[in-house]
Amino acid sequence: MTVFSNNKDDVDRTEKSRRSSYFDSPALDVSVAFPQATPASVFPPCASDYYHFDDLLTPEEQAIRMKVRKCMEKEVAPIMTEYWEKAKFPFEVVPQLGALRISGGTIKGYGCPGLSITGSAIATAEVARVDASCSTFILVHSSLAMLTIALCGSETQKQKYLPSMAELKSIGCWALTEPDNGSDASALKTTATKVDGGWILEGQKRWIGNATFADILVILARNTVTNQINGFIVKKDAPGLSATKIENKIGLRMVQNGDIVMKKVFVPEEDRLPGMNSFQDTSKVLAVSRVMVAWQPIGISMGIYDMCHRYLKERKQFGAPLAAFQINQQKLVHMLSNVQAMFLVGWRLCKLYESGKMTSGQASLGKSWITLRARETAAIGRELLGGNGILADFLVAKAFCDLEPIYTYEGTYDINTLVTGREITGVASIKPPALSKRSRL
Q: What is the pLDDT of residues 199-253, one digit of tens each?
A: 999 999 999 999 999 999 999 999 999 999 999 999 999 999 999 999 999 999 9
| Greatest CA separation for the chain | 82
SS3 content of the chain, % helix, strand, coil (to 5): 55, 15, 35
Do residues 328 and 316 touch, judged by C-beta distance below 8 A?
no
Distance CA 65, CA 304 (A): 18
Q: What pLDDT does residue 6 have?
A: 66
Parallel/antiparallel/unpaired status of strands 198-208 and 191-195: antiparallel
Angle at 97 between CA 91 and CA 102, to 5 degrees: 140
**DSSP per-residue string spanning 146-208:** IHHHHHHS-HHHHHHHHHHHHTTSS-EEEE--BTTBSS-GGG---EEEEETTEEEEEEEEEEE
Contacts 24+ apart (CB under 8 A), 175-178: 175/205, 175/208, 175/211, 175/217, 175/218, 175/219, 175/220, 175/260, 176/205, 176/220, 176/282, 177/205, 177/206, 177/207, 177/208, 178/203, 178/204, 178/205, 178/206
Q: Which tens digits make up the pLDDT trace of 78-137?
A: 999 999 999 999 999 999 999 999 999 999 999 999 999 999 999 999 999 999 999 999
Please name every residue paired with 181 in a beta bridge, in sequence order, or none if there are none: 178
Q: Is the per-residue pLDDT at 433 higher than 80? A: no
Q: Is the per-residue pLDDT at 384 higher than 90? A: yes
Q: What pLDDT does residue 438 have?
A: 53
DSSP 272: E
Going by pLDDT thresholds of 50, 70 and 90, the confidence category of residue 334 is very high
Q: What pLDDT does residue 11 have?
A: 65
Could you give the count of Cα atoms lying within 13 Å of 118 in the half-sphere of its Cβ?
Answer: 22
Q: Is the per-residue pLDDT at 5 higher than 80? A: no
**What burial letters (b/e) apply to 364-392, b meaning 16+ CB within 10 Å?**
bbbbbbbbbbbbebbebbbebbeebbebb
Distance CA 181, CA 160 (A): 31
- Those residues whose C-beta lies under 8 Å from the C-beta of residue 5, and which sit 6 or more positions away, are 11, 14
Q: Among 151-165, 270-284, 425-439, which range has the highest average pLDDT? A: 151-165
Decide: residue 72, CB within 10 A, 0-12 exposed, 13-18 middle, 19+ buried.
Answer: buried
Angle at 347 between CA 341 and CA 351, to 5 degrees: 140
Q: Tell me the mean pLDDT in the region 59-69.
A: 98
Q: What pLDDT does residue 319 have?
A: 96
Q: What pLDDT does residue 440 have?
A: 42
Distance CA 139, CA 103 (A): 8
Decide: residue 314, CB within 10 A, 0-12 exposed, 13-18 middle, 19+ buried.
Answer: middle
User: Which among 232, 367, 353, 228 has a CA at the least distance from the CA of 284?
Assistant: 353
Mean pLDDT score of the chain: 94
CA 342 from centre of chain: 17
Q: What pLDDT does residue 4 have?
A: 53
CA distances from 388 to 299, 334, 394, 401, 403 (A): 21, 20, 7, 14, 18
Could you give the count of Cα atoms lying within 13 Å of 370 in the half-sphere of its Cβ?
Answer: 33
Percentage of the chain beyond pLDDT 90 is 87
Do residues 377 and 305 touch, judged by C-beta distance below 8 A?
yes
Q: What pLDDT does residue 208 have?
A: 97
Q: What pLDDT does residue 441 have?
A: 43
Going by pLDDT thresholds of 50, 70 and 90, the confidence category of residue 434 is low
Query: Who wins on pLDDT, 174 or 410?
Result: 174
Q: What pLDDT does residue 185 have?
A: 80
Residues composing the chain: 441
Distance CA 64, CA 389 (A): 31
Q: Is the per-residue pLDDT at 170 higher than 70? A: yes
Neighbours of 131 (CB within 10 A): 31
Q: Is the per-residue pLDDT at 439 higher than 60? A: no
Distance CA 62, CA 297 (A): 19
